[in-house]
Amino acid sequence: MKSCASPEAEAVSVQADPMARYQAHREFADRRKQVQAARTYFYINEAQCEKNMTTFLKSIEAVSGSTQCTGLAAIKMTALGRPQLLMQLSEAIMRSRRYAAELAGSARATDVITQDIDVATIEGALKEASSVQEESPEVQQWLKGLTYDQKGLIHLFSWSGLIETKMLMSDLFQVPNLTTGRMEPLIASLTKDEEEMFKNMMRRLHTIFSHARDCDVRVMVDAEQTYFQPAISRLTMEMMRKYNREKAIVFNTYQCYLRDAYHNLTVDLDQADRQHFFFGAKLVRGAYMEQERARAEMLGYDDPVNPTFERTTEMYERCLLETLRRVQHYKQYAQPKKLAIMVASHNEDTVRFTVQKMKELNIRPEDKVVCFGQLLGMCDHVSFPLGQAGYSVYKYVPYGPVDEVLPYLSRRAQENKGILVKVAKERGMLRAELFRRLASGQLWYTPNGNYTPV
């Protein structure tokens, strides 16, 4: 609980604070509760975060050496810093969305980029608020920090200063109050030590992505709980903007069991398009469903998870189709590598849907912009035929001591109970193939694998 709560934070009533979702609660301090399929990192101290970073760097080097720079590595942001900072950053992001909606006169607090606001609209809103002194140095400085292009506003803040650790979090997240006219913070007060912890987290991320770029290895940033995710996604997108200038090195992860998965994906795709950097996306179903639902019910906010498995499948296919259509669009303008997709799924129907849509949209396996991923030792009857057909296929290899890795795999099998059915199916297929080879006299057979995954 100490790693998730700021010593400066005051106790708040859940009913009184709509941002309680992005604050620590003792009932869910143990983030392993009701989570079977994901590795959970608990913050001990900065030294442990340094050790975690070293492990990630070794994984990147292992991928580089064993795959000739064609593989991928995965990291979790909660392993690299204090989770409390991600929660506070997520809260500040959500408050900024509400503020942008107020400026735009919108009832729905969505991302700034979807509000279609230009700088003139903001200046007009500030003029209408008679209490705001638009000519004040603080307001003028804030207006200069807006991130925008010819199409309109992209961010309320200049994130580069924060990413490059040139600005403090508490200094960046301030906006003119439309009632009092004074600049007010959107983030709770941070101590000097907390600001230093955040700088350390940014340094570790830069170290990892810089090393990955040098090794030519792609890094997937795992998605986590929804109260961390706004911060994780925003930081990942800004790292993309810095490191994905020549190819997709940094990948963001989208959990398609979430109701807002498609919206978040399209907003990030639009940012990448407008700021001209390569975009990498890993699509998964998700790993925190039971915990998310229990937390939403206890704290009284809307359940963020799709109500049924079928709705999650629809969301997955909708997100996938959107990315494939954009790949097709980039191909038409001779930029086929502008977007890279990892279809991380054990679901045969999802894989079949992907292959079918790729054919319809003329996205060929040799374009090497779509790859598939399954766990090592699971769904080989899906992975191997895809690979033999020329598609890029990756097997996810959990790395670590046996006593830590085996529980992960057992939890994965427990969560994906359908995998056990697939194992029985795969066993039957292997038995049939063995009898076929014995009957035909072709006991030894080596499939052709003349493709290079990239």
Distance CA 22, CA 231 (A): 11
* Same domain, residue pair 234 and 137: no
* Same domain, residue pair 398 and 341: yes
* Same domain, residue pair 269 and 388: yes
pLDDT tens track for 6-29: 765 544 444 446 677 888 888 888
449 located within any domain: no
* Same domain, residue pair 56 and 203: yes
Distance CA 199, CA 64 (A): 28
Give how far Cα 228 sits from Cα of 86, 201, 234, Å.
Answer: 6, 14, 10
Q: What is the pLDDT of residue 12?
A: 44
* Same domain, residue pair 131 and 269: no
* Same domain, residue pair 366 and 219: yes
What the block records as the tokens of 266 is 């399209």
* Same domain, residue pair 249 and 297: yes
Backbone dihedral region of 383: left (phi > 0), alpha (psi from -120 to 50 degrees) or beta? Answer: alpha
One-letter identity of residue 123: E
Distance CA 257, CA 309 (A): 8
Q: What is the pLDDT of residue 356?
A: 96
* Same domain, residue pair 371 and 404: yes
Q: What is the pLDDT of residue 453?
A: 56
Q: 167, 185, 203 — which closes off a domain? A: 185
Distance CA 7, CA 55 (A): 30
Distance CA 270, CA 186 (A): 25
Q: What is the pLDDT of residue 151?
A: 86
Q: 136, 168, 185 — which closes off a domain? A: 185
312 located within any domain: yes
* Same domain, residue pair 55 and 137: no
Residue 281 maps to which CATH number?
3.20.20.220
Residue given tokens 């990030």 in the structure block = 268
128 located within any domain: yes
Q: What is the pLDDT of residue 226?
A: 93
8 located within any domain: no
pLDDT tens track for 163-220: 988 888 888 999 988 887 788 898 877 889 999 999 999 999 999 999 999 999 999 9
49 located within any domain: yes
* Same domain, residue pair 102 and 127: yes
* Same domain, residue pair 353 and 281: yes
Distance CA 345, CA 379 (A): 10
Q: What is the pLDDT of residue 14?
A: 45
345 located within any domain: yes
pLDDT tens track for 54-107: 999 999 999 998 887 788 999 999 999 999 999 999 999 999 988 888 887 776
Q: What is the pLDDT of residue 13?
A: 44
Query: Taking the CA atoms of the chain, what radius of gyration do you get in angstroms?
Result: 23
252 located within any domain: yes
What is the span of the domain harbouring residue 297? 18-80+191-435
* Same domain, residue pair 201 and 295: yes
Q: What is the pLDDT of residue 338?
A: 92
What the block records as the tokens of 378 is 């699971």
445 located within any domain: no
Q: 185, 213, 232 — which closes off a domain? A: 185
Distance CA 45, CA 48 (A): 6
* Domain total of the chain: 2
Low-confidence ranges of the chain (pLDDT < 70): 7-18, 36-37, 107, 130-135, 407-408, 411-422, 447-454
Q: What is the pLDDT of residue 377?
A: 77
